[in-house]
Amino acid sequence: MKGKNEPSKLLLEKKELKILIEIGNIGAKYAANPLSKILKQSVTINVPRVGMMPPSMLPTFYHGQNTPTAAVCMPLTEVMECHFLFIFEMYESKEITTLMTKTLAHAEQASIKISVLEEFGNILLGSLLTAISDLTALNIISASLVLIDALLDAIISDFVRKLSVSTGGALVIDTCLRCRGGYYAAVQLMIFLSPELQELLISKSIFPPKKARKGDVELTSLGNLSIETEDSVKAALNTKE
């Protein structure tokens, strides 16, 4: 296994990419149902693109060096270094806030924005962690969500500095949220994960254990959605290319 400071692998094999795409798609499917109930309308979430890139390239890739941005951060705790970061352009964050708070027009606007974006991020990230748990048999535990308002470049630079992953890779999952009436929101999920966790996700997705064994690594999540695993997806991931 790689050392903690070694870079994550930036070029993914076809099988690995397929696994990560499935994790993103299943997480999106899980998130669509609770969002539909909250918004009282049909919500679909698609994942058109998944890939790896150096974190330092993220602002340039998304043309967002000076873009005002809202981000919801969820770190995993203890065993494995990993941070999940959902990025919304400020316009999208305002649209999402409006969409989810039509019945709260008389409440204080700043507190609404914070609570709504945190809830939105919690649903999306909780769904993704559930998908990871279902495909890898890992229990996932996270710390509290953190809401950040800053320029995209500043957010990414701060993460690179704090996590010492400037030579590693960031897993990027592009997410498209669609609601009735043609509303569309593009959201980027950036996962800053250690090489150890990257290898663990891939290996346990390809060869999921039938039951927990002594010594297995455990990650955690405080609000996993209790949704039944799709056996057909597991079977597809275990099929040889």
Per-residue pLDDT at 114: 64
Per-residue pLDDT at 144: 75
Per-residue pLDDT at 61: 77
Per-residue pLDDT at 233: 28
Architecture of the domain made up of 14-207+220-237: 3-Layer(aba) Sandwich (3.40)
pLDDT less than 70: residues of the chain? 1-12, 63-65, 77-81, 101-114, 162-168, 181-184, 206-241
The count of other CB atoms within 10 Å of the CB of residue 220 is: 17
**Alpha-carbon distance 155 to 145, whole Å?**
15
Per-residue pLDDT at 223: 28
Q: What is the domain partition of the chain in residue ranges? A: 14-207+220-237
Per-residue pLDDT at 222: 29
Q: Judge residue 200's burial from the number of C-beta atoms within 10 Å of its C-beta, 0-12 exposed, 13-18 middle, 19 or more buried.
A: buried
pTM: 0.67
Letter for the amino acid at 35?
L
Residues 169, 7 contacting (CB under 8 angstroms): yes
